[in-house]
């Protein structure tokens, strides 16, 4: 494992960097100094979408070229594989024989390539090869991968076939393809890798898919950390520092300044030919559809910081004063006092992976689970000093309250559904059983059939008179990984996935949400969103990236065979279909109508799933053990209000001291 000794100094000036234009007012008033810089670069920006992709391809091609002679065979194989799967190979793969397109790419981006040709990538190719071979030797018990099946075996060099059976070779090929593809998405800032493009699909309009999304980078980061035999933590560290630096920008939308702690949804590296250097642009929600700030970004950032520290043992990064400050700013945003009566975090629609209107506003499970996870990670990483001790205490109190609230009020199983069905309404005072005055008639019909006798899950949302009974995969898996779910709840979630396999997994894992909103409900809840029609995209679409989360949750639950089944399904199609962003249809049989191909997190999600199933100890990077000090949920609702005085055991935060990170 390579260790990183020096901490990059955080630049103090933001003059090199740009914010995405947040509104017309700023442009007119010219209130931001960056506006001037932007207008001077207008010609560059008009073409920046396609250029960004070409530039990234060139960067990566050049890294590969360094090892071209030694590894020509490997590249040839990758190209052949890509041709065989019908991908747009001429656009994204350059080999020794592909001279014309090589020249075309070279002339289009000569300058940028020069500027950003990735340092630190020497030996990448051999790492990849070792890594791929490692995965073969790790004797996966998975079935052959039909996507790179028999017809392609002839292209795999004999040497790598020698010790492998058909299954292993096929799996090797798909892993190999995935690593190659992942490299093509690397983004460099001043010659250092700092993230990955959301997608590298030259056949589709870029929109903002040519940016580095914080949430999208998480599986890529994990893949780099888990890579065998040599992990690549450098890109993860660079990403953490770069996004931390962006957090320091002033963020204004329509005259309103966002909180200091807000992390960007995404950023983009651009080359400024006038200054002759790379510059950054960031989006804090000002350019996003619906103008929503990403609540999940800061949480993912903290979670990833812990993964990095856990994997590398490099405590110097998380202990750096700037990093400690960044963490505190994120937490300050979420822990500030307000009018809340719930410990959960109030959110706007579109503030997380589901970044369009889908009726998740309120207290969505995805954010609550990420909040809990980030609080627990921060608890381990915050240095104790007079400044932090108060914050650490607040964190502990919130963890206790949040887990109590989610474990009790979001949990739904057969018994609980029956309880809610029989709820009385209009109850008043502390003795109320139906605390949020949920009207039983509001329970949707589908949930009565969907709920198995064995199994349960955390529902999508709980607020006054509202329970969103939909299943959301991210929130449930994160609840398992962070130990927000108790052991019994974890088992029940796994039972549900098995019992409702056809609905939640179908032909292509995994449903992001279940069921889809249709008809009038779709009208009202999504605002007639044509991208989120029933069983498409966020509205019941199937997202291969979620495979890594399911795999991690299954391993944690001691049920890896569930993940293996899902991985087998993915291996039948994902690479063959060109690594799409999402699939449509009740069973996820169709490539999504607007799905990007070569979506980076579809690729890295698969890699992480494989790396974890082959080496379950990787789970430790992204999972927290149960905190025994957190109170278990009470079993009956009627008993959930403490009538007697709180005791030390019912309020553990009052008597416990902050505990520190134990690697
Ligand atoms: C879509 C997804 C979002 C993702 C982005 C980039 O907007 O909804 O979760 O981060 O694409 O892949």
pLDDT single digits (tens) 205-257: 889 999 999 999 999 999 999 999 999 999 999 999 999 999 999 999 999 99
Q: Is 295 helix (H, G, I), strand (E, B) or coil?
A: helix
Per-residue pLDDT tens digits for 302-328: 999 999 999 999 999 999 999 999 999
Residue 68 has pLDDT above 80, yes or no: no
Round to whole Å and give the CA distance between 93 and 112: 18
Q: What does the pLDDT read at residue 386? A: 84
Higher pLDDT among residues 14 and 545, named by residue: 545
- Mean pLDDT score, 464-481: 98
pLDDT tens sequence across 539-583: 999 999 999 999 999 999 999 999 999 999 999 999 999 999 999
Contact (Cβ atoms closer than 8 angstroms) between residue 598 and residue 199:
yes
Kindly report the backbone phi and psi dihedral angles of residue 113, in degrees, each rounded to the nearest multiple of 5, phi listed first: -60, -45
pLDDT value of position 20: 55
Answer whether 215 contacts ligand 1 (Cβ < 6 A): yes
The residue written with tokens 């056809």 in the block is 502
355 lines ligand 1 (CB under 6 A): yes
Any ligand 1 atom below 6 A from CB of 213: yes
Which residue has its alpha carbon closest to ligand 1 atom 3? 353
What would the mean pLDDT of 606-615 be, rounded to a whole number? 98
Give pLDDT, residue 633: 59
Question: Is the confidence at residue 635, as pLDDT, over 70?
Answer: no
Please give the backbone phi and psi of residue 193, each rounded to the nearest 5 degrees, phi first.
-70, 130
Contact (Cβ atoms closer than 8 angstroms) between residue 36 and residue 30: yes
Q: How far is the CA of 149 from the centre of ligand 1 (A)?
A: 31
What per-residue confidence (pLDDT) applies to 629?
A: 78
- State if pTM tops 0.85: no
Instruction: Please count the residues of the chain.
Output: 663
Q: Mean pLDDT over residues 287-308, rounded?
A: 96
The span from the CA of 473 to the CA of 216, in Å, is: 16
- The finding on whether 201 has its CB within 6 A of some atom of ligand 1 is no
Mean pLDDT for the chain overall: 78
* pLDDT surpasses 80 at 172: no
Answer whether 459's CB lies under 8 Å from 359's CB. no
Compute the average pLDDT of residues 285-291: 91
* 546 ligand 1 Cβ < 6 A: no
Given a cut of 50, is residue 296 above it in pLDDT? yes
At residue 628, the pLDDT reads 81
- For ligand 1, atom 9, the nearest C-alpha belongs to 353
Name the more confident of 610 and 65: 610
Q: CA–CA separation, 234 vs 305, rounded Å?
A: 13
Q: Does 512 contact ligand 1 (Cβ within 6 A)?
A: no
661 pLDDT higher than 50: no
Q: Give the pLDDT score at 84.
A: 31
pLDDT band at 48 (very low <50, low <70, confident <90, very high): very low
> What's the pLDDT score for residue 117?
29
The CA 64 to ligand 1 mean position distance, Å, reads 28
> Residue 630 — very low, low, confident or very high, per pLDDT cuts 50/70/90?
confident
- The pLDDT of residue 1 is 34
Q: What is the number of helices (H) and of strands (E) in the chain?
A: 27, 16
Q: Stretch 587-610: mean pLDDT, rounded?
A: 98
SS3 461: strand
pLDDT single digits (tens) 143-167? 333 322 222 222 223 323 233 333 4
- 569 alpha carbon – ligand 1 mean position (Å): 23
pLDDT at 171: 52
Q: Which of 196, 198, 364 to mutate to test the pocket of ligand 1 (most atoms within 8 A of CB)?
A: 198
Of 476 and 116, the structure prediction assigns the larger pLDDT to 476
Q: Is the pLDDT of residue 658 over 60?
A: no
Summarised one tens digit per residue, pLDDT across range 56-65 is: 445 554 444 4
pLDDT in tens, 401-441: 999 999 999 999 999 999 999 999 999 999 999 999 999 99
2 pLDDT higher than 80: no
**Ligand 1 nearest atom to the CA of residue 355, by list position:** 8
Q: Does ligand 1 come within 6 angstroms of the Cβ of 366?
A: no
Q: Is a pLDDT exceeding 50 seen at residue 491?
A: yes
The pLDDT assigned to 18 comes to 56
Where is average pLDDT lowest: 258-262, 322-326, 623-627, 659-663?
A: 659-663
Which of the two residues, 566 and 656, has the higher pLDDT score?
566
Question: How far away, in angstroms, is 529 Cα from ligand 1 center?
Answer: 16
What's the pLDDT band for 615 if we cut at 50, 70, 90? very high
Contact 267, 280 (CB under 8 A): yes
All residues at 6 or more sequence positions from 83 whose CB lies less than 8 Å from its CB, including other chains: 89
**pLDDT per position as a tens digit, 333-370:** 999 999 999 999 999 999 999 999 999 999 999 999 99
Q: What is the pLDDT of residue 15?
A: 32
**Radius of gyration from C-alpha coordinates of the chain:** 25
Q: What percent of the chain has pLDDT over 90?
A: 66
Phi, psi of 10 (to 5 degrees): -75, 125
């Amino acid at each position: 494992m390579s260790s990183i000794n020096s901490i990059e100094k955080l630049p103090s000036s933001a003059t090199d960097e740009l914010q995405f234009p947040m509104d017309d007012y700023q442009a007119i008033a010219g209130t931001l100094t960056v506006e001037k810089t932007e207008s001077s670069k207008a010609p560059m920006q008009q073409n920046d979408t396609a250029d960004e992709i070409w530039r990234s391809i060139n960067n990566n091609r050049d890294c590969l070229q360094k090892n071209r002679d030694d590894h020509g065979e490997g590249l040839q194989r990758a190209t052949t594989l890509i041709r065989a799967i019908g991908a747009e190979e001429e656009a994204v793969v350059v080999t020794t024989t592909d001279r014309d397109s090589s020249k075309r790419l070279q002339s289009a981006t000569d300058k940028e390539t020069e500027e950003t040709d990735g340092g630190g990538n020497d030996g990448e190719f051999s790492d990849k090869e070792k890594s791929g071979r490692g995965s073969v030797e790790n004797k996966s018990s998975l079935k052959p991968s039909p996507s790179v099946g028999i017809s392609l075996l002839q292209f795999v060099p004999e040497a790598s076939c020698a010790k492998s059976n058909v299954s292993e070779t096929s799996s090797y090929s798909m892993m190999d393809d995935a690593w190659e593809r992942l490299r093509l998405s690397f983004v460099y800032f001043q010659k250092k890798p700092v993230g990955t493009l959301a997608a590298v699909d030259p056949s589709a309009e870029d929109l903002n898919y040519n940016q580095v999304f914080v949430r999208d980078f998480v599986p890529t980061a994990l893949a780099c950390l888990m890579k065998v035999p040599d992990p690549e933590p450098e890109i993860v560290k660079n990403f953490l520092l770069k996004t931390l630096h962006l957090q320091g920008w002033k963020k204004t939308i329509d005259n309103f300044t966002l909180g200091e702690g807000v992390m960007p949804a995404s950023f983009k590296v651009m080359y400024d030919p006038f200054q002759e250097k790379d510059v950054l642009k960031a989006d804090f929600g000002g350019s996003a559809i619906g103008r929503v700030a990403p609540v999940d970004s800061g949480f993912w950032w903290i979670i990833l910081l812990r993964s990095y520290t856990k994997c590398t043992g490099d405590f110097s990064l998380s202990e750096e004063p700037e990093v400690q400050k960044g963490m505190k700013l994120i937490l300050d945003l979420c822990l500030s006092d307000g009018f809340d009566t719930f410990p959960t975090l109030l959110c706007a629609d579109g503030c997380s992976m589901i970044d369009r209107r889908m009726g998740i506003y309120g207290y969505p499970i995805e954010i609550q689970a990420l909040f809990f996870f980030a609080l627990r990670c921060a608890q381990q990483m915050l240095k104790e000093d007079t400044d932090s001790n108060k914050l650490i205490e607040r964190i502990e109190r919130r963890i206790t309250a949040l887990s109590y609230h989610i474990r009790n009020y979001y949990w739904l199983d057969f018994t609980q559904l029956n309880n809610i069905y029989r709820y009385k309404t209009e109850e008043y005072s502390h003795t109320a059983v139906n605390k949020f005055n949920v009207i039983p008639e509001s329970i949707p019909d589908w949930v009565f059939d969907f709920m198995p006798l064995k199994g349960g899950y955390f529902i999508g949302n709980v607020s006054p008179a509202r329970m969103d009974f939909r299943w959301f995969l991210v929130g449930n898996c994160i609840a398992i990984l962070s130990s927000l779910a108790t052991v019994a709840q974890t088992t029940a979630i796994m039972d549900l996935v098995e019992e409702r396999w056809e609905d939640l997994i179908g032909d292509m894992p995994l449903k992001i949400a279940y069921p889809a909103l249709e008809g009038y409900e779709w009208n009202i809840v999504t605002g007639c969103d044509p991208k989120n029609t029933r069983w498409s995209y966020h509205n019941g679409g199937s997202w291969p990236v979620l495979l890594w989360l399911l795999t991690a949750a299954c391993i944690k639950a001691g049920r890896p065979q569930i993940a293996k089944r899902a991985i087998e399904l993915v291996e039948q199609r994902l690479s063959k279909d060109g690594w799409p962003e999402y699939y449509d249809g009740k069973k996820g049989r169709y490539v999504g109508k607007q799905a990007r191909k070569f979506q980076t997190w579809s690729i890295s999600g698969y890699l992480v799933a494989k790396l974890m199933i082959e080496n379950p100890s990787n789970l430790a990077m992204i999972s927290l053990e149960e905190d025994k000090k957190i109170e278990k949920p009470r079993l009956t609702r009627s008993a959930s209000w403490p009538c007697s005085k709180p005791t030390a055991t019912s309020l553990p935060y009052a008597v416990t001291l902050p505990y520190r990170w134990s690697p």
